[in-house]
A and B are shown apart, each in its own frame.
Chain A
């Protein structure tokens, strides 16, 4: 049967679904298999349906599909929610001794395992999920020994007894299936010698920040960005840094701004509602020319929207948000590994250009875990560029006749020298009011224009100096072009393969830079059809691309709260290509 296995565990929030899923994912990763996880979770802690899904293969996997092979169901709802994805070769593991009579369609193999009783035998009912993992191992031909490492990682801190009990629980699950069922579903999970790491987008952002020398982080908890803060706490201290859980997002961004003015590499992360609250200070960051990284992990909006659901609806807010006109950079990772690398880049842009830099990730990137070879995050390749941060003895070059430091000197490239507290003679004032070169308030018409132009000039400089490139895949000679941003790249990569099988060649461009961004005019010109794929209702990225290229595009928009799947995208692209081209 297929090498590609789709496994899931589902139940009520609070049932330990997440940690159980993670243990299995880690075991698969330890066995040298690629893993791609996704989560269905409701916005409540207890009582909502929640599931953890794993797609695993010896090849690289980077999207979700509409198929489920092995399902561990702790509730009937788990079965109902996934009926569409179950097929004849699927098996459902459940506990018939528990109070519900599982309704499972006949064609699907029902594997009734007394999860709870076996867990109690192993030392406690709490381990019933681990019993289920053991059962799943048996059904998939996966050696239960790989679970051991993951169990040690998970429970090692709680003592060897707990670890041993869990290992025992897993074996009880495996043995039960072995002894009571004579099944051959045809799955035999191969293992390899590869060493993979398994992490999600939020963790990759946090790791990128640490690699880039971030020392200060202030944030306020919000789904799906909280993990960034949770990752940094406990790790940033080892580099002399600190995380503050602020009283709100207004405070968070202002604290981060303060630390940046003190000279630290500083960051805050939030999601849409928090970005709204930060908008006022965002303007201050830009006019005071403070280097700051602001992460927006998008969730479904507007207002509190659907906090645990996928969307790419904040592009306009990050691109245009804030009153007045404000220069800013917006980078948007398209993969989990890019969450790391773009965060590193963001810190460099922030300091080189003395601007706020948005790192815009989406929920699907943030909560999804994926396997990578460790070299993907090659720390030796991390470069740190602090831009025009002066050495103590350089300050004198930037004083005016009266000995004042020209913190906002209107240089040709728009980038000024930067002095931080403690530097002799660098003392200066900065303000959100329009100001002169010295940072002092002004309403002088000429100075106003000079400072606005100076700040905007930084963008021109960056456009010329940096490579605002994109990633390309599919058939480079194809007549039709698909453009995407954010997490859709994974599903598109697989969609392209499906389309190729159907003889529908397309060229795909995945763009990690929203502003500045690559000029796609020539690519658009050369293509017959251009389709822009994004998880929002109005096509925010399509709008800016139409504006850039003066060319109409077709759009595929999904705003159900669920990410794109490869097969669904392949179908939609085929259908779109048949539609008439919109009027120019």
Chain B
């Protein structure tokens, strides 16, 4: 593969044609991820991508890197394991809102609180795509789907608030079709020392006719624009925008400047793939301990 200096974002593209519906937000989400990886000096041989299950999870097939497409909801623990074994490798996890906030909600809380050094991209289309249109944890309470014919009557999960409550050190949101800003935000998440969480509005053009491109285009407020100039290091300010569910924000809501990633906190520095040919030297000490 290409050496670092000449990596282009297309190096992260596999030659499999995506089977996403034409117009699916996941195309834009993926392009931004590839650009951000290239821009931050990574290449496919030092990148590990863990994909969830769902339309979003198919991303592992369309990107090129070391990758695993796991079981539903478990991308974050897998990514945690990879990062522990290989602190030298860039680790990214990606999946849908169902994958991340429903079946995987427990793992989301714990990966966040551990502050594992990875980037987690959630393609939030506020619907279950792959299983053909059931309510997801981020669906609006009055949104009618095949499993909620009268709406769920439950408030949606606020993933950013969940992250904040779990002690997140980097919380951001982007919009798949705002290509430049989206890639920029992912890039920041990659560069963050710790758990870089990005919730991406990634519209499902087939099953969600409420949270559409037009809806996001019209309602999106960018925290970087002048009148919204937001201090991401100010926890109270972050809380304000995260808990303000009347608006759809884009940008980095919160970043903790003192973030220490899990592996550093625990002194994990070695490439765990390298082990000697036999038992470690002085291994008999392990036995003598039982004298």
- Which residues in A have some Cβ–Cβ distance to B below 8 Å? 29-30, 195-199, 203, 207, 210-213, 215-216, 218, 235, 237, 239-242, 244, 246-248, 250-252, 254-266, 280-281, 283-284, 288, 374, 377, 379-380, 382-384, 402, 420-433, 440-441
Contacts and interface: CB of A to CB of B under 8 A. Distances in A.
B50 interface: yes
Contacts of B77: 218, 246, 250-252, 254-255, 258
Nearest to A213: B275
B81 A256 contact: yes
B74 A421 contact: no
A425 B272 contact: no
B82 A261 contact: yes
Given A262-B272, A421-B89, A427-B1, A255 B288 contact: no
A428 B15 CA distance: 12
B275 A424 contact: no
B288 A197 contact: yes
Contacts of A196: 291
A165 to B, nearest CB: 23
A368 to B, nearest CB: 14
Nearest to B269: A240
Given A197-B290, A428-B66, 14 more contacts: A248-B106, A250-B107, A261-B78, A262-B83, A262-B89, A263-B273, A421-B45, A421-B86, A423-B45, A424-B45, A427-B1, A431-B70, A432-B71, A440-B61
A377 B268 contact: no
A426 B69 contact: no
Interface in B246-284: 263, 266-273, 275-280, 283-284
A255 B78 CA distance: 5
A193 to B, nearest CB: 14
Which of A251, A254, A283, A288 has most B Cβ within 10 Å?
A254
Contacts of B60: 429, 431
A156 to B, nearest CB: 13
Given A211-B283, A426-B45, A426-B66, A216 B85 contact: yes
B178 interface: no
Nearest to A214: B275
Contact of A203 (B15, B74, B279, B290): B290
Contacts of B81: 216, 218, 244, 254-262, 266
B84 A382 contact: no
B68 A259 contact: no
A432 B69 contact: yes
14 contacts: A213-B275, A215-B275, A254-B71, A254-B77, A254-B78, A256-B81, A259-B85, A261-B66, A264-B84, A281-B74, A383-B278, A427-B1, A429-B67, A430-B69
A454 B266 CA distance: 40
Interface of A is mostly: mixed
Contacts of A197: 287-288, 290-291
A259 B287 contact: no
Contact of A211 (B15, B64, B88, B286): B286
Contacts of B83: 258, 262
Contacts of B290: 197-199, 203
A254 B70 contact: yes
A240 B272 CA distance: 7
B284 A374 contact: yes
B273 A420 contact: yes
Contacts of B242: none
A384 B288 contact: no
B154 interface: no
A216 B274 CA distance: 12
B14 interface: yes
A87 B106 CA distance: 55
Given A203-B290, A382-B278, A284 B71 contact: yes
Contacts of B283: 210-211, 379, 382
Contact of B107 (A215, A247, A259): A247
Contacts of B106: 247-248, 251
Contacts of B74: 250-251, 254, 281
Contact of A427 (B65, B272, B275): B65
B174 interface: no
Contacts of A248: 106
B136 interface: no
B110 A213 contact: no
B89 A422 contact: yes
A246 B273 CA distance: 21
B71 A258 contact: no
B276 A384 contact: yes
B278 A427 contact: no
B101 interface: no
A242 to B, nearest CB: 5
B284 to A, nearest CB: 5
Given A239-B280, A280-B71, A284-B70, A258 B79 contact: yes
Contacts of B288: 197, 374
A384 B277 contact: yes
B284 A379 contact: yes
A207 B107 CA distance: 29
Contact of B45 (A235, A261, A425): A425
B148 interface: no
Given A235-B286, A380-B279, A255 B69 contact: no
B86 to A, nearest CB: 4
Contacts of B278: 379-380, 382-384
A422 B86 contact: yes
Nearest to A420: B273
A427 to B, nearest CB: 4
Contacts of A423: 45
B213 interface: no
B46 interface: yes
